[in-house]
Structure 1
């Protein structure tokens, strides 16, 4: 009997299952990608996807990810640049655990994402299709699988019947996309995924996220009056740029009343860096230009920000009025958090700024004209002074400094390039010198579990295949990205991007933290911090071995620009590039 005849005889019976309903519902809800790390719990899902492909049905594109941390980081980056949640599939409890710190990142970054994990089968003697047939089904049966991630999720749910799978998925997506946005986690036993069900017609439009709300007219009037009354008003933000339409509204307000803007730990492009009313960054150390702005202000409007200043280092004057507009003004998931404010508004920043600008446009500002003009003149002078200081930091030296690296990098990038920034101890240098001025061109994790940048860059590239994507990372952070998996995926799915490693041969941040607490301690005196890596790791070679990328290493300032230009050329021609930039090494003993 021929193989062809055998194939004809074993045509599978095509029944409609919970897995089919799941795939169709996610597709109809606008999910474009399934980022997957599959296991035995996903058998019926795999069958469903194969069946859909065989039948020529539209379905989300499947991206195979060899590591779960990376899987969620890709979804994170994609949702950041598009605003649209994608689906992540992980394997029972062990795959859920392997998500690791990425669940912290999506929670703190308020990233909408749908995470699905199977569960060990709930039957053991073939009572139902999908019953236990492997020894791991016993070992992976844990008492509280959702408890692994519950503290980091907006919503967790176990689906116990395929008959309401569609409704459960749509409710989960509704929760993920309602402000404050965030991740959701769904799970179900293998038997439920294999269950034969009747297709039911559930309307996606009946599960829309909660409509955003801005501040009211009277609340906007209060903010405007405070801005007009203040002699030294100040606006602070961190993530207003997550809504790109909010940025021009902030610019309009700043220009209308000559109000300076400071970005505190920004992880979006919130306000054009070269705008004359941009007065610098708060990098959470208190040792930079924004500290004086906070101390001098008599009115501060905080918009979309978690940590506007560090009270240990600086705080406003006693008589300074502080108002707060935020999707999450009381930070319900941060146990120790308090910033004395006069008014807090739980509101959408874009809609709120529109209302504030509407109020301003209806005012007769003639009595304030001179004060506004004088303040504008002073702000422009401060901005120019700031730029001058920043340029001095980037002057040539005998080794490559973070400021020289970022200034040179800016000169070889285009304004439309998307920069994913996870440089940690070198955040300040990136903000000072990369200076993005277009919305949607700068992103950070908004959190602290290192390794986000590699997966996030792939997500950004999937969402913007025609744009150049650049990941900036420290050497320690680069190792956390799971680089072998990152570059395999980038090669497999044609998402080339540029990685620039700020290599100071170790974890600089723990050293800085130690010095911050014990500046004259024994570690400082003996210069021993257990954070140095030395020069042995050729990190750029990982990308060559695992992902057909081209790796570069550079330590001389004279060669820096040429190497960066070569790397950009490599990416523009369809291959990823990794530039390992050796900065001045840390002092301190080796590991």
Structure 2
């Protein structure tokens, strides 16, 4: 029988979906039946990946989309499964990640009026007033499948929204009776195409080019330009030509090669004024939600500031105000290519060479200071985050993918990995912890031949549902290395408290409700759930051998390896 569910699955296949990350419930019999029939008949459909936890399901789709640029499908159970997605929906929305989420809805008949009518008590208690409203504040588009006759149009429209800038998750619901509706098999239909990348108006491109050329100390600030891999070489070309320093503000991807001398810094929440930003007379913000934190770090009041962004209005942020002179909605790669084309025909400002020399000196000094922090301490002492990251870096393949959810060690990880390849680092781009494990699975499904390293704090490891992650990793053959930066607690809340109340009682004492000491056996959880190689490292002298063994296990035995590395406690 060809049903709405069959047509829905066909529409996903036609839209280029490779995987359905599913957590099935009582509202999905028609989808389960359609999948079983397709398998029995040898019909091609997206591959089913069973996900015992919804956060992991959407995080896996998130990681896959970051690597490939293509939205995947996530299927969850009515409002319960939708609510369980909450943190992952926040991440996908703020990270601008395309994904199609489908949730069933409680049957709308109760006496057998239609096939699929209510036959379990949960069908009454899971019938809520506005199920779509649970995620409406986060998704780009939501809709209900009311009939099977236009289900392919509904899916095509949703995928078009998901893939159009600014990208994001979309949400569809369908009641059981509708998903069971018999249909005549329809002709294959092409999916709706996303909107083309937007460009600057020629006059605006010339305005930005002239502003940068005439500047004494221009600076670029970015956070997520590297999501568009093609934008990175364009930014490099611009900065090298004009000797423009690059500052990353809370970076969530590899935006600029750290081995290039124009790379100057990445800044997070540290209470420090960036000297280059303070000196800049022209600031180009390109693809950044928070270019600086005004209470602690900002440019000179006289600086001229221009903003180019795929999402310049920040429509999902009720409060967003930075003193920009001009703001443009444009694709970073397209806009930078336009500016570079104009710059090629313009004479180079004679002060560029002097500025370049100064930036090279600052870049080299920064690297010298970082290198001084990298050696391991006394073998009997604890491992430092800098030494741990360096040891991982020294073993990574050139084409490795790094999933970074280091939280209080975000900056350390980025500083000491020194990545230079576009697309080499994946972060959630948002603030709901637990993305890392599912994202590693999604990244590995997208690139089976690439080495995936997942670097996470101990708090974010617990949020990631590691028993689900490592069961899935073994079952679906997605081996990755997971390194836990274990400081025995949530360090970030303690740092936030100390930043606001540096002399407060909480900053001077332990036992403030953020400690996990003694911690769970994090590596043992992965071993029990998924047969992972598991080691706990408490002394610096144990690190190198454990890392060698772990890398070898992932590469040759093709199973996960989890290293629980104890750092200095909170």
Is the structural similarity TM-score above 0.5?
Answer: yes
**For the aligned residues, what is the CA RMSD?**
1.1
Whether the 8 Å CA contact 2:488–2:519 is kept in 1: the answer is no
Whether the 8 Å CA contact 2:494–2:507 is kept in 1: the answer is no
Whether the 8 Å CA contact 1:213–1:348 is kept in 2: the answer is yes
Describe the shift of the 1:364–1:62 C-alpha distance in structure 2 as closer, same or farther (beyond 3 A). same
Whether the 8 Å CA contact 2:209–2:339 is kept in 1: the answer is yes
- Correspondences of 1:483-498 after superposition (within 5 Å): 483-498=466-481
Task: Identify the match of residue 213 of structure 1 among 198, 204, 220.
Answer: 198
Higher mean C-alpha displacement, 478-487 vs 240-249:
240-249
Secondary structure of 1:204's match? coil
Offset at 1:528? 4.1
The equivalent of 1:27 in structure 2 is: 13
Higher mean C-alpha displacement, 532-541 vs 29-38:
532-541
Task: Identify the match of residue 255 of structure 2 among 265, 270, 273.
Answer: 270
Whether the 8 Å CA contact 1:238–1:305 is kept in 2: the answer is yes
Task: Identify the match of residue 392 of structure 1 among 343, 364, 372.
Answer: 372
Offset at 1:202? 6.1
Secondary structure of 2:21's match? strand
Task: Identify the match of residue 361 of structure 2 among 362, 369, 381.
Answer: 381
The equivalent of 2:148 in structure 1 is: 162
Confirm whether residue 53 of structure 1 aligns to residue 33 of structure 2: no
Offset at 1:88? 0.3
Task: Identify the match of residue 303 of structure 1 among 277, 283, 286.
Answer: 286
The equivalent of 1:409 in structure 2 is: 392
Report Cα offsets for 1:521-571 as digits up to 9, x if no partner: 121234442111113421100011000111111122122122111111111
Report Cα offsets for 1:210-231 as digits up to 9, x if no partner: 1111112211111111111111
- Correspondences of 1:229-248 after superposition (within 5 Å): 229-248=214-233
Task: Identify the match of residue 568 of structure 1 among 528, 551, 554.
Answer: 551
Give me the whole-angstrom Cα distance separating, in 1, the residues matched to 2:37 and 2:185: 16
Unaligned runs of 5+ in 1: 1-14, 587-591
Report Cα offsets for 1:134-178 as digits up to 9, x if no partner: 111111111111111111111111111111111001000011111
- Correspondences of 1:153-192 after superposition (within 5 Å): 153-192=139-178
Offset at 1:121? 0.6
Give me the whole-angstrom Cα distance separating, in 1, the residues matched to 2:16 and 2:444: 18
Confirm whether residue 469 of structure 1 aligns to residue 452 of structure 2: yes
Report Cα offsets for 1:14-67 as digits up to 9, x if no partner: x21101110111101100100000011110011111111111111110000000
The equivalent of 2:329 in structure 1 is: 346
Confirm whether residue 256 of structure 1 aligns to residue 256 of structure 2: no
Q: TM-score by structure 1 length? A: 0.94
The equivalent of 1:62 in structure 2 is: 48
The equivalent of 1:512 in structure 2 is: 495
Give me the whole-angstrom Cα distance separating, in 1, the residues matched to 2:298 and 2:355: 22
Give the structure with higher Rg (CA): 1
Offset at 1:239? 0.8
Confirm whether residue 580 of structure 1 aligns to residue 564 of structure 2: yes
Give me the whole-angstrom Cα distance separating, in 2, the residues matched to 1:137 and 1:575: 40
The equivalent of 2:271 in structure 1 is: 286
Give me the whole-angstrom Cα distance separating, in 1, the residues matched to 2:41 and 2:519: 52
Unaligned runs of 5+ in 2: none
The equivalent of 2:518 in structure 1 is: 535
Offset at 1:348? 0.5
Offset at 1:469? 0.2
Report Cα offsets for 1:60-109 as digits up to 9, x if no partner: 10000000011000000000110000000000011111112111000000
Describe the shift of the 1:225–1:536 C-alpha distance in structure 2 as closer, same or farther (beyond 3 A). closer
Whether the 8 Å CA contact 2:73–2:99 is kept in 1: the answer is yes
The equivalent of 2:423 in structure 1 is: 440
Whether the 8 Å CA contact 1:415–1:437 is kept in 2: the answer is no
Give me the whole-angstrom Cα distance separating, in 2, the residues matched to 1:344 and 1:284: 25
Give me the whole-angstrom Cα distance separating, in 2, the residues matched to 1:417 and 1:536: 30
Secondary structure of 1:330's match? coil
Describe the shift of the 1:197–1:293 C-alpha distance in structure 2 as closer, same or farther (beyond 3 A). same
Whether the 8 Å CA contact 2:225–2:286 is kept in 1: the answer is yes
Give me the whole-angstrom Cα distance separating, in 1, the residues matched to 2:519 and 2:15: 48
Secondary structure of 1:421's match? strand
Give me the whole-angstrom Cα distance separating, in 2, the residues matched to 1:309 and 1:260: 15
Report Cα offsets for 1:387-444 as digits up to 9, x if no partner: 0111122243332111111111111112211000000101111011001111111111
Report Cα offsets for 1:463-514 as digits up to 9, x if no partner: 0000000111011110000000000000000000000000000000000000
Give me the whole-angstrom Cα distance separating, in 2, the residues matched to 1:411 and 1:562: 13
Give me the whole-angstrom Cα distance separating, in 2, the residues matched to 1:391 and 1:535: 32
The equivalent of 1:81 in structure 2 is: 67
Secondary structure of 1:52's match? helix
Secondary structure of 2:27's match? helix
The equivalent of 1:315 in structure 2 is: 298
Give me the whole-angstrom Cα distance separating, in 1, the residues matched to 2:189 and 2:195: 16
Confirm whether residue 328 of structure 1 aligns to residue 311 of structure 2: yes
The equivalent of 1:37 in structure 2 is: 23
Confirm whether residue 145 of structure 1 aligns to residue 125 of structure 2: no
Secondary structure of 2:137's match? helix
Secondary structure of 1:302's match? strand
Secondary structure of 1:25's match? helix
